[in-house]
Amino acid sequence: MSDEHSPSKYTNRLPAHQALEEFLRVLTEKSKLAREKYRVVQNIQYGDSDRQVVDIYYPDKVESETEVVFFFHGGYWQEGNPEMYGLTAIPVAQSGKICVVVGTDLTPHVSFSTILEQCRKAICHFANFFPLTSKITISGHSSGGHLCAMLLSTDWSVFGKDISSYLERTLRKAVLICGIFELQHLKETRENENLKLTTEEAIKNSPISAHNIKTLKENISNFGCELVLVCVENDAPTILQWNDAYLKELKSNNVHVTYKLLNGLDHFNVIQNITDPASALAQIIVQ
């Protein structure tokens, strides 16, 4: 990955390869702990392919109104699966909420548009699992932050009156963590060998594009949804740059957004530390 796009080169803690190795090790160890600590149903399919699955983690006490947190993982739309990110369920389940960790197909096997359609399909599908929930939070890290932003920029009326009404009643919070909000800058990088972005698709699927900001603003208003943008001090320059640009674009369009800069953290340990219920990110998600 090009240096300016590579968060592992900017942790200020470890050499890049060690930062990645540590991240994968912690994901594995703490996700295993999550599966041991909480009841989980894995690989619940919502689509035709093997990767269109979710893992659902349950707190000790579950009622029909129990709140639900969806988490969309990172990996530059090319890597990752729900099992790897079970650690995100620990603070959620500990706070008495259900955690749904979402998986999709990945590039280069499918396009960006296909991945986004799968995310929308997952939301529609699992609305039927939790029809009486009192609140839904969507959250995502890195490329998962991009996917969450695009869910907020979706015209849900296309998917029917039922899902639109459901989200108006339940979707109350969105937490975008170290998100990637502009895609055109990736077209000329070597990452695009796998991403296979065209100009048309990059514009269509960039949260910062004017048409997506417009739809997001309408949804935030209609749903009464709190939007939280989370950044870390030590991240890749392009991620910081486009988070800043996205924040400015949201504010210039009078979108109410809360901005949280987590000092001393990087793209990886912000997730590694989420299992501590006192950590800043855990608090932001579950409050």
- List, for residues 52-96, the tens digit of each pLDDT value: 999 999 999 999 999 999 999 999 999 999 999 999 999 999 999
pLDDT(223) > 90: yes
pLDDT of res. 91: 98
Q: How is the chain split into domains, by residue range?
A: 3-286
39-45 vs 53-58, strand pairing mode: antiparallel
Percent of the chain, pLDDT > 90? Answer: 95
- Average predicted confidence (pLDDT) for the chain: 97
Distance from the Cα of residue 17 to its chain's centroid: 24
Decide if 104 contacts 176 (C-beta within 8 A).
Answer: no
pLDDT category at 257 given cuts 50, 70, 90 is very high
Average pLDDT over residues 255-264: 98
Tell me the pLDDT band of 190, cut-offs 50, 70 and 90. confident
Structurally, at CATH architecture level, domain 3-286 sits in 3-Layer(aba) Sandwich (3.40)
Q: Mean pLDDT, to the nearest integer, of 14-33? A: 98
Q: Which amino acid, residue 112?
A: F
Closest-CA residue to 172 (of 232, 97, 245, 113):
97
- What separation in angstroms does the CA of 129 have from each of 35, 62, 98, 124, 197? 20, 13, 11, 10, 34
Q: What is the average per-residue pLDDT within 222-231?
A: 98
Whole-angstrom CA distances from 227 to 24, 103, 152, 256, 283 are 29, 22, 9, 7, 15
**Phi, psi (deg, nearest 5) at residue 160:** 110, 155
Neighbouring C-beta atoms of residue 230, cutoff 10 Å: 24
Residue 2's pLDDT band (cuts 50, 70, 90): low
* pLDDT at residue 155 tops 60: yes
The residues with which 232 forms a beta bridge, in sequence order, are 262
The residues, ordered by sequence, that sit 6+ positions from 117 with a Cβ below 8 Å of its Cβ are none
Q: What is the pLDDT of residue 267?
A: 98
Tell me: the pLDDT tens digits for 89-124? 999 999 999 999 999 999 999 999 999 999 999 999
Token pair of 207 as six digits: 């949260």
Cα 58 from Cα 225, distance rounded (Å): 24
| Predicted local distance difference test score (pLDDT) of residue 3 | 66
Residue 1 has pLDDT above 60, yes or no: no
What mean pLDDT do residues 146-160 have?
Answer: 98
